[in-house]
């Protein structure tokens, strides 16, 4: 091969690599003012010692993961002012802000943060102050400010939404989302937000092969009626669908998750078998098949990523699609599991 021909081949390969690196960005959803990649990174574990065993020693690894996924087109991160346990409250927001400021790629990303409707937060200004505290930790205005869960018995609901309107008016946030809303509550909050002069663009709900309630309770239709995009969190069911754990080999997570796994692993054999069969045929991993199932149902996928290896596996769910028969086979296998995961206690109807 001549020198000129070799240069042409190398140039074509370089373009292919560049296209591949940007492919995730082109495969996304328009959510209000943002074009978001189909997979976003959840940061629940960033600062959570109780459930996820976080340590400050993890920060370098988390920052490496941030760099890895943003370079590959993941352009939104979900966090909350309650992420980070004990003295580490707000840790996830602090880390996100620092990672963005120190990022080598300097790619613009969307920060969606959830503000908790704690019972001591009274009046619209309580949410404004909560948003301002998040802004201080993030180091910049919030892209998508979200109500973490609907307050019990509607406590301060109108006031909280008024507070979100103030954050928008003051340009401290760009748009509004909610979380853990069932169809009735979603419609109610959408109506209330419209009376305050703005729209709710997104709703985060628990969704996986082991938590299929949005397919069964009318939420998808309600969201379509309201023009609200659905985001599915916990798509790997706290790791139950990762296929990395086994009771027989005593390979289980510690703490509360270990108790849950002992309960569910024995009854999910049909589902795991179907996932493994499709994964083998597709030359994919079980988590990639489970995540792709979520995408096939039309929801954005919000998945936790703490290591580069974990990120590589999760992003392998993109760029291909399960066939209709494969989706149907997974649906049937999931229905053979005698019970679904318990819904988040804050989830409403």
Distance, in Å, from the CA atom of 332 to the CA atom of 58, rounded to the nearest integer, reads: 39
What's the pTM? 0.88
The yes-or-no answer on residue 83 being catalytic is yes
The token pair that represents 115 in the structure block: 């503000």
Average pLDDT (93-117) is 94
Q: What is the pLDDT of residues 165-208, one digit of tens each?
A: 999 999 999 999 999 999 999 999 999 999 999 999 999 999 99
Distance, in Å, from the CA atom of 91 to the CA atom of 81, rounded to the nearest integer, reads: 8
Q: What is the pLDDT of residues 23-44, one digit of tens each?
A: 343 469 999 999 999 999 999 9
Answer yes or no: are the C-beta atoms of 159 and 117 closer than 8 Å. no
Q: What is the pLDDT of residues 248-267, one digit of tens each?
A: 888 888 788 888 989 999 99
Lowest mean pLDDT among 13-17, 143-147, 160-164: 13-17
Which of 237, 322, 316 has its CA nearest to residue 39? 316
DSSP string, 75-140: -EEEEETT-S-GGGTTHHHHHHHHHHHH-SS----EEEEEE---TT--SHHHHHHHHHHHHHHHTS
Answer yes or no: are the C-beta atoms of 348 and 219 closer than 8 Å. no
Average pLDDT, the chain: 90
Distance, in Å, from the CA atom of 119 to the CA atom of 101, rounded to the nearest integer, reads: 33
Distance, in Å, from the CA atom of 125 to the CA atom of 163, rounded to the nearest integer, reads: 6
Distance, in Å, from the CA atom of 72 to the CA atom of 135, rounded to the nearest integer, reads: 26
Catalytic hit among 66, 68, 83, 160: 83
């Amino acid at each position: 091969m001549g020198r000129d021909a070799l240069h042409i081949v190398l140039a074509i390969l370089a373009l292919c690599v560049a296209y591949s690196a940007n492919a995730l960005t082109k495969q996304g959803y328009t959510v209000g003012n943002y074009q978001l990649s189909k997979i976003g990174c959840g940061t629940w574990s960033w600062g959570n010692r109780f459930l996820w065993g976080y340590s400050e020693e993890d920060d370098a690894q988390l920052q490496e993961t941030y760099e890895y996924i943003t370079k590959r087109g993941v352009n939104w991160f979900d966090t909350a002012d309650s992420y980070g346990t004990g003295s580490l409250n707000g840790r996830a927001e602090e880390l996100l802000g620092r990672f963005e400021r120190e990022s080598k790629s300097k790619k613009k990303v969307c920060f969606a943060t959830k503000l908790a409707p704690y019972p001591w937060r009274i009046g619209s200004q309580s949410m404004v102050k909560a948003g301002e505290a998040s802004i201080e930790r993030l180091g910049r205005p919030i892209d998508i400010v979200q109500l973490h869960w609907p307050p019990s018995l509607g406590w301060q609901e109108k006031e909280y939404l008024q507070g979100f309107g103030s954050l928008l008016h003051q340009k401290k946030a760009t748009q509004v989302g909610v979380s853990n809303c069932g169809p009735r509550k979603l419609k109610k909050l959408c109506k209330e937000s419209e009376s305050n002069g703005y729209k709710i663009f997104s709703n985060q709900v628990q969704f996986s092969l082991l938590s299929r309630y949005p397919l069964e309770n009318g939420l998808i239709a309600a969201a379509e009626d309201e023009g609200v995009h659905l985001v599915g969190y916990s798509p790997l069911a706290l790791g139950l669908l990762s296929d990395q754990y086994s009771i027989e080999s005593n390979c289980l997570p510690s703490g509360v998750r270990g108790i849950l796994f002992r309960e569910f692993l024995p009854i999910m054999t049909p589902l795991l078998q179907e996932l493994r069969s499709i994964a083998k045929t597709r030359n994919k991993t079980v988590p990639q098949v489970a995540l792709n199932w979520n995408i096939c149902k039309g929801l954005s996928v919000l998945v936790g990523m703490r290591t580069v290896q974990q990120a590589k596996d999760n992003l392998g769910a993109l760029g291909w699609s399960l066939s209709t028969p494969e989706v149907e086979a997974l649906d049937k296998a999931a229905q053979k599991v005698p019970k679904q995961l318990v819904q988040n206690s804050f989830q409403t109807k």
